[in-house]
Structure 1
Amino acid sequence: MPLTNIANLFGRSPIKPIKEHMAKAHEASAGLVDFFAALMEGDLSAAETAQKHISACENRADDIKRDLRLHLPDSLFMPVSRSDLLELLHAQDEVANTAQDIAGLAIGRKMQIPAPLQAMMTTFVDSAVATSAQALRAINELDELLESGFAGREVDIAQRMTEELDELERKSDKLEVEIRAALFKIEKDLPPVDVMFLYRIIEWIGDLADRAHSVGNRLQLLLAR
């Protein structure tokens, strides 16, 4: 009998809500694409709509997290520990939280992205969201990993996915350096407070990619157990 089915004999399997949680976390991060597009078009109404969607996704992720924590048994009849799953859940949660923080700060300040930075910002946001998407794809392999007992071809697939996640995170780091340098060149022409918050937003977008990468790191730890 597959391990996931055996686990269900001893209580609800946590894998489905873990995957649902990551899906909502990624949906929150993906909302930043439309959010920044609206900001750069000067459409604050559309930006506010996108920000509310991001916040709703983060709230739903919190609901899933809370329910999973309440119902996760102290011991699992699985080749993973309760503490490992909770660490994975925390890493996923940081993706949703960071996306919400980015949108909340930017909409709260009615932030404008300077024209010389807009193309780079679009690429940077797309890169961070791509990292989150890759983390979701990796998490969606959990069922198959459990079925295989964390062995064989499924492990190889998951390892390749996490290696691709490494590459995406490094790409995001490089883009962060480039956009910070571009902002430095024009910062003297901008209000100092706006510059300070632009640097913060850039840092947080970089953090979003880092948080998504951390999900892959937690999955790698599960594979190494």
Structure 2
Amino acid sequence: MGGFKRVPFERTVRKSPFELLSTHARYVTKTANKLIDAFNSFLSGEEEKFLKVKKEVETLESEADRIKGNIRNHLPKSILMPVDRTMFLMLLSEQDKIIDNIQDIIEWIYMRNRPPREEIAENVKELFNQVEKTVAAYEKAIGNLKDLIESSFSEKERNETKEAIWEVHRQESICDSLERSLTKKIFDMEDKMGAGEILHLTKLVMLLGEVANRAENAADRLRALMAR
């Protein structure tokens, strides 16, 4: 009788869950890229173009949900994973919340689809761009996970992943700084603005900051996953 042959985890499912997690992260980045398109149409007051972007974000979110469901459905408790299963699913959940927060931004813009006044438009655009950079840095970090697993957590791959995680924190810190300065600038202009405009802009800034925070949180989940 032949001995027990251990089958690698990645071959027990149709696609490696780590590969699917990276694919899901790419959808997160694609959705974040749409933020810039949304801002440009928001700034120019082109409602038809904005609605097109809004629809594209909904489509991306739906596809990301399908991938998330595929990952969860192929992680039965009986399968031995090279990382903690619960931590892996927590990472997936935190990553997915980035898309949810981006959708919240699109919906919030649509609630009062009036462009920011000229005095702060560039500041708002800068924050939009920085949020996109933070999400892109996160995708790069999560992209290292598959190589990290395949290398059996080699020191080289660990160090590269830690460096990528640090970069997410650095980009998020820039977002924090922009968020604070823009919020102060809005309140410094309160004599020129109505209550509705102030509410809309301050919450928009807060929601943008939340996307960057989610990316940082997901990066921290990745770091915890590495600790095993």
Specify the TM-score bucket, using the shorter chain as the normaliser.
over 0.9
Q: Which residue of the partner structure matches residue 88 of structure 2? A: 85
CA distance in 1, matches of 2:198, 2:111: 15
TM score, norm. by length of structure 1: 0.93
Q: Which amino acid aligns with 1:50?
A: V
Equivalent of 2:134, from 131, 139, 143? Answer: 131
Which stretch of the first structure deviates more once superposed, 27-36 or 12-21? 12-21
- Aligned equivalents of 1:75 and 1:166: distance in 2? 35
Instruction: Using structure 2 for the length normalisation, give the TM-score.
Output: 0.92
Matched, 1:177 2:166: no
Does 1:148 pair with 2:124?
no
**211, 215, 219: which one aligns with 2:214:** 211
CA distance in 2, matches of 1:46, 1:157: 40
C-alpha displacement at 1:76, in angstroms? 3.8
Once the two structures are TM-superposed, the CA of residue 75 in structure 1 deviates from its matched residue by 4.2
Runs of 4+ in structure 1 deviating by more than 6 angstroms, as ranges, are: none
SS in 2 for 1:188: coil
1:114 aligns with 2:114: no
- Percent identity for Structure 1 against Structure 2: 27
Amino acid in the other structure paired with 2:12? F
SS in 1 for 2:73: helix
Deviations 1:76-113 (A, max 9, x none): 43321221111011111111000011011102321321
The one-character-per-residue Cα deviations of 1:131-171 (angstroms, maximum 9, x if unpaired) are 10011011111110011111221111000001111110100
Look up the match of 1:193.
196
Aligned to 2:37: 34
Listed as ranges, the gaps of 5+ residues in structure 1 are none
Whichever of the two has the greater Rg, that structure is 2
Aligned-partner SS, 2:153: coil
Show the 5 A alignment for 1:15-94.
Answer: 15-94=18-97
Letter in 2 for 1:137: K
Is the contact between residue 20 and residue 71 of structure 2 (CA under 8 Å) also seen in structure 1? yes
The whole-number CA distance in structure 1 between the counterparts of 2:217 and 2:78 is 24
Q: Name the amino acid aligned to 1:158.
A: T
Report the residue type matching 1:140 in the other structure.
G
Residue identity in the other structure for 2:206: E
| Separation of aligned partners in 1, 2:152 and 2:10 | 15
Structure 2 regions of 5+ residues with no counterpart? 1-6
CA distance in 1, matches of 2:108, 2:151: 43
C-alpha distance in structure 1 between counterparts of 2:201 and 2:77, whole Å: 44
Partners of 1:72 and 1:111 in 2: CA distance: 45
Contact 1:145–1:155 (Cα < 8 Å) also in 2: yes
Partner letter of residue 7 of structure 1? F
